[in-house]
Structures are given as structure tokens and as C-alpha cells.
């Protein structure tokens, strides 16, 4: 049920109550008047509670749309989900501990860095940007916060064209340290008979040139191609994959805010068995594992640790610890540690692919 419908119901209920207030009850018995007023009041309460409850539900959806509870990976909580080193780390950070932010899918990586190197003295709540040293605000917001000097290092995929332009406008030089490898993946509902697509077929789907699954060997059903909001890590990856091909404009309802939303909608039984979506391999297979999706092979190659590391999977790429050139000097020891044995061990233990 949409907001306009709910507002209509609310106004109708309010109008009913007002009309009852204006009604001439003088010809009715006191008992009947009380009954009418009682039912009217009850109806008003029910309508108000329904509308209020629906908005609480919407707010809950906004929080849950990421598809994962990041506090499951929160440092210093004895979380079994968080990757840990088997021995003391090889370095000790001195001076100011940098503020960290980043993509939802990369929070488990840098949260493990925090537990290995940071003191258990401050708040590490991923959702509280006001008091926490280490948060996860998603890729677009993390880039904005870095460029505005509100955080020190962010963990993200490479920047979009708009983010690079914004950095240039603000005269900020970005310093990008590769810390691991990942696969950009496409997925369909598990009941979809399609198992593999070529790069050209994927581009054709997202350009709007291929509109039915039977054009790529599937059933005669219209393809519902989901996208992500502008400047998100996975939408940027899609745009880079398209090359010179123009990306079609997706309907608003096919642009879920969070990656959890895109996975959930692609796997839903009602109306979405004809869908295709995209994400990053670790997020889709490790952080969100309760949805009925199937990762597609691209050019016949499955996104595995081996194919990602050797680059044979066509959509393999690095992810980064991004900071400013000024901060890169201040935090050089930390950035270098991420690419060395301890940092790479945590990358691999989390479920990502080492640089080497």
C-alpha cells in the first residue's frame, strides 16, 4: 500500500470524525449518541495506529534494506563472524587512530583491522557517525565524508566519475591503496534456467536492447533488470562494465537503495522470477545468504577465489583503502600493513581474495 492511499484513508477517517462532531445528535437518545461517538473514536484510533504502524514498518525496511546487521561484525564484541589473527599483529599504531568509513560489504574487513590494531577504548558502532570512530555509511556517503574531511580512510570500490569530479572541485587528491580483490557478479532467481551470459549479452540487457529471456536462451519472459542508486559501488561497477554502451534508465521501483534490497527483490517469488540483479560476490554469498539467488557465470567462467585472483573471471577488480594524499603520509604504516601478511590474512579470512 502506497503513501497516497494511506493518506487518503487517514483524511477520510479524520473527516468522518469531524462530520460526527458537526452532526446534530439532539434527536437521538444519550445511549445511542455514546455508541456512535465510541465507534467513531475507535475508528479514529485504528486508522491512526495503522498509518503510524505502516511508517514504522517503512523505517524498519530502510534500515534492513542493506540486507545485513553490521553489528554482527562489530569489533571487541567477541563476534564469531569477525575475522581474527592467530597471533599478535606485527605493528603497533602510534598517535591518532584514523576514523574509518566505507561500503557495507567491506565493513567486515576493516572491522577486523580495527580489532587487530585499535584499542578497546572507544565506541565502534557502525551506525553512529556522531560518536563512533569506525562506521559504515555506504559508498556514496563515505566518499562525501572523506572529501569533506569528516573521516580519514574509507574502504570502497573505485570512485565514480562524479566522485572524481567532486574531488577535483574540492581540490582533494585521492590516494588509493589496493587491499584485496573481488568479483562483480550478476544473479537471477534460482528457478531461472539461465546459468551463464556473455559480457555482450549483459551489456545488451542493461542497454535495453535485450528485453526477453528467450533472446539469451531462457523462457519467453520480459527481463526485469534491477539497478542501484548513482555513485554506489556496484552501480559504478555496472557503468564501467558498460563501456561506451548507454545504460538504460531503470524505473524507480527497480532501483533499490541497498544491495540487500536488490538481492531480496530478485529472489522474491512474486513477480520477480524474471529479474536480474548485481552485487559483489562476498556480499551476495557471505553477508546475505538466505535468498534464493543464483550467481551467473560470465563468458562461461564462475566467480571463484581462483578465477578472481588470476583475473580469468572477466569482472574481477581490486577494492581499496582510499584516503587523501595528506592522510596517506600520516597513516602510511597502517596502509602498508593492510597489504602485508597480517592485513592480507584478515582479507582472506573475512572471505575476500588476497592481492597475491
| Per-residue 3-state assignment (H helix, E strand, C coil) for 23-36 | CCCCCCCHHHHHHH
Residue 9 confidence (pLDDT): 47
**Where is mean pLDDT largest: 10-14, 151-155, 230-234?**
151-155
SS3 301: strand
Give pLDDT, residue 96: 86
Looking at residue 55, its pLDDT comes to: 35
Q: Compute the average pLDDT of residues 203-216.
A: 95
Q: Which of 37-51, 238-252, 272-286, 342-356 has the highest mean pLDDT?
A: 342-356
Q: Is the pLDDT of residue 218 over 80?
A: yes
Provide the pLDDT for residue 61.
Answer: 28
In this prediction, residues 149-177 reach a mean pLDDT of: 95
Max avg pLDDT among 46-50, 52-56, 70-74, 226-230:
70-74
Q: Would you state the pLDDT for residue 292?
A: 79
pLDDT of residue 42: 58
Which pLDDT band, with edges at 50, 70 and 90, does 15 fall under? low
Checking if the pLDDT of 203 tops 90, the result is: yes
| Whole-angstrom distance, CA of residue 47 vs CA of residue 85 | 54
Q: Given the C-alpha cell 574509518, which residue does it identify?
A: 100
* Closest to 326 measured CA to CA, from 143, 131, 98: 98
In 208-337, beta strands by DSSP E: 224-225, 275-280, 293-295, 297-298, 316-324
Q: Work out the average pLDDT over 110-131.
A: 92
Among 229, 82, 101, 234, residue whose Cα is nearest residue 155: 101
Q: What are phi and psi of 197, to 5 degrees?
A: -135, 155
Nearest to 260, CA basis, from 231, 293, 236, 237: 293
Closest to 101 (Cα-Cα) out of 148, 156, 55, 58: 156
At residue 273, the pLDDT reads 81
For residue 346, the SS3 value is helix
Cα gap 279→293, rounded to integer Å = 12
- Of the two residues 293 and 170, the one the predictor is more confident about is 170
Structure confidence at residue 51 (pLDDT): 40
Least confident interval from 49-58, 92-101, 244-253: 49-58
CB of 208 closer than 8 Å to CB of 250 = no
- The answer to whether residue 53 scores a pLDDT higher than 50 is no
Whole-angstrom distance, CA of residue 194 vs CA of residue 312: 21
Q: Give the pLDDT of residue 48.
A: 45
Contact between 322 and 153 under an 8 Å Cβ cutoff? The reply is yes
Mean per-residue pLDDT for 182-207? Answer: 94
Amino acid at each position: 500500500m502506497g503513501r497516497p492511499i494511506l493518506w487518503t484513508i487517514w483524511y477520510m477517517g479524520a473527516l468522518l470524525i469531524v462530520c460526527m462532531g458537526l452532526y446534530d445528535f439532539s434527536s437521538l437518545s444519550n445511549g445511542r449518541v455514546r455508541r456512535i461517538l465510541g465507534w467513531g473514536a475507535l475508528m479514529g484510533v485504528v486508522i491512526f495506529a495503522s498509518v503510524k504502524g505502516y511508517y514504522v514498518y517503512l523505517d524498519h525496511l530502510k534500515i534492513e534494506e542493506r540486507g545485513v546487521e553490521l553489528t554482527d561484525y562489530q569489533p571487541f564484541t567477541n563476534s564469531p563472524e569477525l575475522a581474527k589473527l592467530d597471533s599478535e599483529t606485527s605493528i603497533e599504531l602510534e598517535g591518532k587512530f584514523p576514523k574509518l568509513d566505507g561500503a557495507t560489504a567491506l565493513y567486515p574487513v576493516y572491522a577486523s583491522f580495527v580489532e587487530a590494531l585499535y584499542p578497546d577504548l572507544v565506541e565502534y558502532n557502525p551506525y553512529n557517525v556522531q560518536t563512533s570512530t569506525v562506521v559504515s555509511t555506504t559508498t556514496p556517503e563515505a566518499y562525501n565524508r572523506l572529501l569533506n574531511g569528516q573521516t580519514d580512510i574509507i574502504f570502497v570500490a573505485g570512485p565514480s566519475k562524479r566522485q572524481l569530479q567532486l574531488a577535483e572541485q574540492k581540490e582533494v587528491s585521492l590516494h588509493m591503496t589496493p587491499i584485496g580483490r573481488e568479483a562483480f557478479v550478476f544473479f537471477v532467481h534460482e528457478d531461472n534456467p539461465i546459468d551463464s551470459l556473455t559480457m555482450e549479452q549483459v551489456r545488451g540487457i542493461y542497454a535495453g536492447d535485450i528485453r526477453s529471456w528467450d533472446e539469451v536462451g531462457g523462457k519467453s519472459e520480459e527481463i526485469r533488470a534491477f539497478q542501484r542508486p548513482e555513485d554506489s559501488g556496484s552501480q559504478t561497477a555496472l557503468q564501467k562494465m558498460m563501456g561506451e554502451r548507454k545504460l538504460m534508465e531503470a524505473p524507480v521501483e527497480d532501483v533499490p537503495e541497498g544491495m540487500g534490497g536488490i538481492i531480496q527483490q530478485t529472489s522474491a517469488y512474486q513477480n520477480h522470477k524474471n529479474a536480474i540483479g548485481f552485487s559483489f560476490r562476498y556480499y551476495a554469498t557471505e553477508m546475505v545468504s538466505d535468498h534464493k539467488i543464483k550467481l551467473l557465470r560470465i563468458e562461461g567462467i564462475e566467480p571463484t577465489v581462483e578465477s578472481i585472483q588470476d583475473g580469468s573471471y572477466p569482472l574481477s577488480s581490486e577494492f581499496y583503502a582510499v584516503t587523501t594524499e595528506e592522510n596517506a603520509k600520516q597513516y602510511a604504516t597502517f596502509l602498508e600493513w593492510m597489504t602485508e601478511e597480517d592485513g592480507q590474512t584478515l582479507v582472506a579470512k573475512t572471505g575476500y581474495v588476497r592481492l597475491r
